[in-house]
Structure 1
Amino acid sequence: METKPTEVPAVDGLPLLASLLDLRRDPLGTYERARREHGDVVRIASGPPGLRTTIHFVFSAAGAQQVLAGQSANFRKDDRFSQEMRQTFGNGLLSSLDDDHIRQRRLLSPLFTKKRVADYAAAVCDEVDALCAEWEADRDGRPDLNEDMSRLTVRMITRILFGSDAEQAAKVVRRCMPALSTYTLRRGLMPLNLPRSFPTPANRRARAAQKELHALCDRLIEQRRRSATSGDEAGTDLLTLLINAHSDEDTPLTDEELRDQVLVFLLAGADTTATSLTFTMYMLAQHQNIQDSVRDEVRSVLAGRRPTPADLDALPSVERVLKEAMRLYPAAPVLIRRAVRSTVVDGYAIPAGAYVYVSPWVTHRHPSYWPDPERFAPERFRPEEESRRPRYAWFPLGGGPRSCIGNHFAMLQMKLAVATLLQRYRFTGTVPHVPLEVGVTIRAARAVDCTLSPVGRVSADTLSRSR
């Protein structure tokens, strides 16, 4: 006999605004409290009567897997927030749907294989070296990890996307992207918005930032097209590769589609990587014994030289600390879908048309999968430990057919950066708690200061004798 699905429990809210104020003031805490008090599938209402939105949150690993992978055809990315994303950042891979998404993914996937992204390792290391040179010239010894990791990741992604035009592009990206991210999230959470054409201060600022980003992308796309027409030697930057991307089934990307993809890469490639690197270094600065252990591994493998992609498999501790930091601070705290038909998730009835949020932030802290979940413990990601957990107990890069296409690229960047930084410096934490700013991604809401001290370089012979 088939078991009847359970009705989803609801969070109590205020009579007039329901949980709108809680979601605006402390969204992450509101999600966590909902799971603790009501379980793994919960309804949270937001907004006044007549304009109220009800969100179905799914916090279990099994439920996340159903929504993102097993039953992904039942859940589309055409919710209000995704619509706002499309209006701000275009119809790129992050927001496109159906045939558009399938075509874009076919065209772009060959550019992001593990083998292909290894070609960018030298550029990544160059930018990390440049950051170290700035630290050494500054001589203050107290960097702001939030600011510096953000600057580093923007420089890495703009250099890889735009090549020799990276420096100018990085300034525009750092000026415009944070404001657009926050603007888009606020519109996505509000039950009712004024049209973007209304001349409110927020709309005017967003239009100006969007116009500046579009002008940058359009100019660089035109330059690459012109160079190709004039017979100049083809560049090797990612924008040139995007222009030349093709498959037997698909037409090449138009200029507008190229701009939309570039905006997605700038948003996802800079913000998410910056968050992950900031909190990896922050957690290592707070846990000296773990930092020392990882540094010993790095120095044993590299012996003072620059890391390469071939070294990374020999640095499992670097990967483990990154994964644990991404567990505690997943750059995307929620992934949003809309149910296109009535379905059952983790035993609960989800009606057609419902907004469904799966939350890496909450699932990554679920005590069923993570004992003592707030503790920083990279050993959780030893192979024998990972094999005991459900696949979707950890999903900071999404999952299923819409998983992050740049996952190999992101991990390459972060592993190379962490290995380089630990080989050169000891980081000591000075900030016991970092408040978070929740936009399209999460990021530190203030400076993440730490104390920096150089560690002596060591030769392979010295390491061998010390062992």
Structure 2
Amino acid sequence: MAATEASQAARAGGGAGTGIPRLEGTPLLGSLADLKADSLGTYLRARHRHGDVVRIAAGPPGLRAELHCVFSAEGAQQVLATQAANFRKDNAFYQEVRTAFGNGLLTSQDEDYLRQRRLVQPLFTKRRVDGYADAVATETAATLTAWEQAPDGVVDVSDEMMVLALRAVSRILFGTDSDATAAVVDRCFPVITEYVLRRGYSPLNVPRSWPTPGNKRAAAALEELYGVCDAIIADRRSGGQGAGGGGAKGEDLLSLLAAASSADDGEFDATELREQVLIFLLAGHETTATSLAFSLHLLGRHPEFQDRARAEIDAVLGDRTPVAADLDRLPYLTRILKEAMRLYPAAPVMGRRSVAAAEVDGHTVPAGADVILAPWVTHRHPGYWPDPERFDPDRFTPEAEAARPRYAWFPFGGGPRACIGQHFSMLESVIALAMLLRAYEFEAVDTEISVSAGITLRTTSPARCRIRRVGATPR
């Protein structure tokens, strides 16, 4: 059913403020088992059966959570933009992220958030972000060199893009300290994120101070991660200078964050700096890695689109290294990335908690409700996306984009809390993808990839592609 038809049907049943339908579950646990086994599939099933606003109960009686899921573009716009002040990051999941990674831009609220945003915003202007293109190109070139030794010409693009994106964001954040930091993040982040997920979605948790194996593993990982960040921050505070992405002294993002100040907002102290750095590491490498990996894998399944992209890259770049200005010169490559982000949004689920009762897409969401937005579902909504599982980059021509509701596609969120790193993510992805496709042809080995919703979208099965140098004789 189209989005407008679903909304009209809901309103025809009783008008604005009508009761929200509920996905059936078991008497004891509701839909908890389904959400744990396949949350993305459960949300898709809820929309298919009950429309664009659905309640899902999860957990045993007395500890049961009731999720108010909003799947329409109109509803997403209301929650993220027009009524954003009423929907806050106060749920249990965000509290776990806040406890582990700190009160940075992703998790902070109210005046804390506004102050941080004002201090950080000058570091994410288009001009400033464009200056990081060299760092991305350098790390992509290193990946291409490493692939020359790929056994049997096969790589797991999910693993490889995670390494590439982590090294790129580490170089941009830490400059000359990037190698050591990337190794620590690679070792510690999986432990911490798994711990956050387990606690964030559990109806009951033991105190973090209890010496359980899980608590001890997470505490050790956090201590190591905090330690390396704090040491580099102390060096910057004492006058140490890191070489930034372009090679200039003191131009790495951490140095710029340490120097950020204003008469009204002051400056970041050492703890605040660490919190911003951890959030940038979390949001800045897993998201871009996801977009790159699925772009490559989808192109590996669709050689006709891959050939078209390569023809554009060759015509625009020739043999030269891409620069920031090439982002606007590679429109088809950008469409590929957007379509990959539609099918595989790096943030497949977003949560909020309502302050007061509010009307959302024709239904009353009560005060204190846990509200779920799911780009994974909205990006597959047949009201906006005909044949939604089909990979088609031409969904993102300017004419097609103008014809859709604004929030039919929202991989970067939206409203006043929209991701500050949108331009950086697109710049990094286009540059890396252009260099990878110019050098290699990709053929998907694993035709289907299993995924799950973590803090970001995660692959749970291999995502291998056979790679062959462009122009090389087939084996």
Return the TM-score normalized by structure 2: 0.93
Query: CA separation in 1, counterparts of 2:240 and 2:263?
Result: 21
1:190 aligned partner:
202
Q: 1:296 aligns with which of 311, 323, 348?
A: 311
- The one-letter amino acid of 1:103's match is R
- The one-letter amino acid of 1:402's match is R
Is the 1:234–1:240 Cα contact (8 Å) retained in structure 2?
no
2:230 aligned partner:
218
Query: CA separation in 1, counterparts of 2:126 and 2:79?
Result: 26
Q: 1:205, CA displacement in angstroms?
A: 1.2
Task: Give per-residue Cα distances to partners, 1:34-69, cap 9 Å, x unaligned.
Answer: 000011000001100001010100000000000000
- The one-letter amino acid of 2:158's match is N
2:466 aligned partner:
451
2:343 aligned partner:
328
Task: Give per-residue Cα distances to partners, 1:291-343, cap 9 Å, x unaligned.
Answer: 00000000001112111111221100110000000000001111110000011
Task: Give per-residue Cα distances to partners, 1:93-130, cap 9 Å, x unaligned.
Answer: 10001000000000001111121100000110000000
Q: 2:273 aligns with which of 242, 258, 261?
A: 258
- The one-letter amino acid of 1:125's match is A
- The one-letter amino acid of 1:258's match is L
Q: 2:184 aligns with which of 172, 176, 182?
A: 172
**Is 1:408 matched with 2:420?**
no
Q: Mark the CA change 1:56 to 1:122 in structure 2 (over 3 Å): closer, same or farther.
A: same
Is the 2:349–2:453 Cα contact (8 Å) retained in structure 1?
no
Is the 2:40–2:452 Cα contact (8 Å) retained in structure 1?
no
**Is 1:201 matched with 2:210?**
no
Q: 1:83 aligns with which of 95, 102, 116?
A: 95
- The one-letter amino acid of 1:391's match is R
Question: RMSD of aligned C-alpha atoms?
Answer: 1.4
Q: Mark the CA change 1:119 to 1:17 in structure 2 (over 3 Å): closer, same or farther.
A: same
Q: 1:438, CA displacement in angstroms?
A: 2.4
Is the 1:228–1:234 Cα contact (8 Å) retained in structure 2?
no
Query: CA separation in 1, counterparts of 2:379 and 2:116?
Result: 30
**Is 1:433 matched with 2:448?**
yes
Query: CA separation in 1, counterparts of 2:357 and 2:151?
Result: 60
- The one-letter amino acid of 2:251's match is T
Query: CA separation in 2, counterparts of 1:397 and 1:418?
Result: 19
- The one-letter amino acid of 2:365's match is I
Q: 2:332 aligns with which of 301, 307, 317?
A: 317
Q: 1:139, CA displacement in angstroms?
A: 5.9
Q: 1:234, CA displacement in angstroms?
A: 5.2
Q: 2:112 aligns with which of 100, 110, 113?
A: 100
- The one-letter amino acid of 1:438's match is A
User: How do residues 125-164 of structure 1 correspond to structure 2 at under 5 angstroms?
Assistant: 125-138=137-150, 140-164=152-176
Task: Give per-residue Cα distances to partners, 1:234-253, cap 9 Å, x unaligned.
Answer: 51110000001123321100
**Is 1:369 matched with 2:384?**
yes
2:84 aligned partner:
72
- The one-letter amino acid of 2:360's match is V
- The one-letter amino acid of 1:273's match is T
1:461 aligned partner:
none
User: How do residues 263-274 of structure 1 correspond to structure 2 at under 5 angstroms?
Assistant: 263-274=278-289
Aligned to 1:333, what secondary structure does the other structure show? coil
2:19 aligned partner:
7
Further displaced range: 271-280 or 441-450: 441-450
2:28 aligned partner:
16
Q: 1:383 aligns with which of 398, 405, 421?
A: 398
Aligned to 1:452, what secondary structure does the other structure show? strand
**Is 1:342 matched with 2:354?**
no
Q: 1:447, CA displacement in angstroms?
A: 2.4
Task: Give per-residue Cα distances to partners, 1:329-384, cap 9 Å, x unaligned.
Answer: 00111111000001100000000000001110000000000000000000000000
Query: CA separation in 1, counterparts of 2:179 and 2:457?
Result: 25
Structure 1, gaps ≥5 residues long:
458-467
Aligned to 1:54, what secondary structure does the other structure show? strand
Identity of aligned residues (%): 55
- The one-letter amino acid of 1:39's match is G
Aligned to 2:265, what secondary structure does the other structure show? coil
Aligned to 1:102, what secondary structure does the other structure show? helix
1:464 aligned partner:
none
Further displaced range: 434-443 or 387-396: 434-443
Query: CA separation in 2, counterparts of 1:41 and 1:60?
Result: 8
